[in-house]
Chains A and B, each alone.
Chain A
């Protein structure tokens, strides 16, 4: 028999040393870094779309982030520093999330078989999230490498050059849907995971996923439009 208790059901074995607080901290950290990154992405993409309002708008945004409004001159290191912060968040988030990935081939085979057999939206979405997360290791690395090493290459004209002449459009075309799906599904998952608001039933979850897809599509349209604008500028200019 296991360490069963006496008749009042009180456990008789003295418990091992108190359980660590780390699982709680790490779980919160994974959620928080994810949420911060998603929030950053949401703002980032909105700001990127400034180009839709013309090159002045894009330049204004670039200058704002280079600190010209505060210092009177551009300080691209601010952009680099911000990028480094984001990179740190990404690394932490990825390291925490890796704990949930399949660890061995057995895990992978079990899970992929499960996803196929169960035919269940939430389970399939998680699989996508894991897959997009994996892809983001490389995509984010590539993107941030550029930002950190060429912090001054923002604003309407430098961005146009990067997108068109350096071929970054191809990267963005893949990056955009991947990061959007990952972030949106992630935020949806956070709401379910922490029950904010509580998930009442399956219909409720369906409605929430609908909202999620609407957000994804809206951002996709916005992002693609911005990208097209840069491409248009580059090709015509």
Chain B
């Protein structure tokens, strides 16, 4: 390319007034009911929901609860339901919607208040349940020696699945989880697929079957593909679950 471009289109249009409807509820306030509160703000150039909500909290309503950390689409803190769809609020530009934007907390997770939900607690429980860590040999490693080799393509494949940020969007978009709260969800099944691929983890399919070989695991998935369609990292979740299902079926039929 030869000509540098500028970042600022539509310099001359007057800014829009946005109506941001937030589903509000503080479970710690006894006797209150969930309600929708509407905030009106002026749209700024390049405004994300992070910027919009921060402005609302700073200028209009300091009690509004929400979670942002990296504000760059990396940490997964700010997943919420945006006009019906789970997504990362920090990297959602307001320009992609009409002037009405409706925000609600992710379902399934324990509500902390307003748009803030306890994804951390859910994810930790999932990790403990599925043992989402490399199960190594007892001997451990000698840190003075050179590292074990790994096929470069395999390392990339593992990283592809390792990119999950545990934001909870897939959980919020999962019909199975809505009806079966014990279901491990796409996030959990993707973890199993990731460790199964990793040659450093010495677990076998027998072990994985113990973790996900039932209707709260891989056989519970109803394949609604909501997970894959909302995943902010574009992980091939449905593909991975299908693959895992075949492997677990093969293992189950041998039992």
Contacts and interface: CB of A to CB of B under 8 A. Distances in A.
Given A18-B255, A24-B249, A118-B226, A5 B131 contact: yes
A203 to B, nearest CB: 11
A184 B219 CA distance: 21
Nearest to A113: B178
B138 interface: yes
Contacts, number: 138
Interface residues of A, number: 48
B129 to A, nearest CB: 8
Interface residues of B, number: 48
Contact of B226 (A120, A195, A201): A120
A122 B174 CA distance: 11
Given A9-B134, A18-B255, A24-B213, A199 B178 contact: no
A51 B228 CA distance: 45
Given A23-B215, A117-B81, A118-B84, A28 B253 contact: yes
B228 A199 contact: yes
B155 interface: no
Nearest to A30: B219
A159 B239 CA distance: 45
A165 interface: no
A145 B177 CA distance: 37
Interface of B: 81, 84-85, 107, 128, 131, 133-138, 140, 173, 175, 178-180, 209-210, 213-215, 217, 219, 221-226, 228-229, 234, 236, 238-239, 242-243, 245-246, 248-249, 251-255
The 6 closest A-B pairs by CB, nearest first: A24-B252, A195-B242, A21-B255, A193-B223, A27-B219, A107-B179
